[in-house]
Amino acid sequence: MWRCYGQSSQPGDRELVHGVFETSALANSQVNLSVWLRYVDDTYVILQETEVDTFTEHINTQNSHIKFASEPEVDQQVAFLDTKVSRHAGSSLDICIYRKLIHTDQYLTFDSLHPKAHKLSIVRTLFHRAEIAVTDPEEKVKEVQHNYQVSFITLCMAITIGLFI
């Protein structure tokens, strides 16, 4: 995985610069990339392990203001944005939600004084994120079970299904 560290700028400017940068850098690369995915300044790249250093050197010489650092997979897993991508035999991939070790799984407690609509929105968001990002059905279930009563989660899931169908 590659993570780009550049100077902050306006989102539109940054997108334009990164678009031009990556078009030029990838066109001039001697390394064959299987995958290049970018979201803002996070980039997910799949390439041969033997070509990581060569590609890092190449991409870091393209612009003196944009530098990349690699984050190699560990135990056939790598974090990208808020997901964890796991590689299995046969080149299949599983995706689940990634949380740092210091993540508390605490969003809003069910008995807080926040409006019910805010609590509903959090659970609905977690449910929707699980539906679009997680590949394992068991992990999808775990994703929406964060410190809320089962009846409230069931209500949220019913409402969410109604909203997204």
**One-letter amino acid of 23:** T
Residue 95 is assigned to a structural domain of this protein: no
Are the C-beta atoms of 70 and 56 separated by less than 8 Å? Answer: yes
Residue 6 is assigned to a structural domain of this protein: yes
Residue 61 is assigned to a structural domain of this protein: yes
CATH number of the domain where residue 58 is located: 3.30.70
pLDDT for the residue 144:
64
Whether residues 67 and 112 share a domain: the answer is: no
Pick from 13, 14, 12: nearest CA to 4:
14
Other C-beta atoms lying within 10 Å of the C-beta of residue 84? 17
Residue 85 is assigned to a structural domain of this protein: no
Residue 92 is assigned to a structural domain of this protein: no
Under DSSP, is residue 116 helix (H, G, I), strand (E, B) or coil?
Answer: helix
Residue 101 backbone dihedrals phi, psi, to 5 degrees: -60, -30
Other C-beta atoms lying within 10 Å of the C-beta of residue 83? 17
Helices (H) and strands (E) in the chain, counts: 5, 7
User: Where does a domain end: 21, 49, 72?
Assistant: 72
Q: Which domain holds residue 136?
A: 103-164
Whether residues 66 and 107 share a domain: the answer is: no
pTM for the model stands at: 0.66
Residue 98 is assigned to a structural domain of this protein: no
Residue 136 is assigned to a structural domain of this protein: yes
Pick from 81, 135, 61, 148: nearest CA to 109:
148
pLDDT for the residue 148:
59
Query: pLDDT tens digits for 53-102?
Result: 888 888 888 888 888 888 888 898 888 888 888 888 877 888 888 888 88
Name beta bridge partners: 37. Answer: 44
**One-letter amino acid of 142:** K
Whether residues 116 and 63 share a domain: the answer is: no
Q: In what order do the strands lie in the sheet with 93-97?
A: 77-80, 83-87, 93-97
Whether residues 12 and 65 share a domain: the answer is: yes
Query: pLDDT tens digits for 92-147?
Result: 888 888 888 888 777 777 778 888 888 778 877 877 888 888 898 888 777 766 55
Whether residues 124 and 68 share a domain: the answer is: no
Are the C-beta atoms of 26 and 33 separated by less than 8 Å? Answer: yes
Whether residues 108 and 157 share a domain: the answer is: yes
The number of distinct structural domains making up the chain is: 2
Residue 94 is assigned to a structural domain of this protein: no
Whether residues 107 and 158 share a domain: the answer is: yes
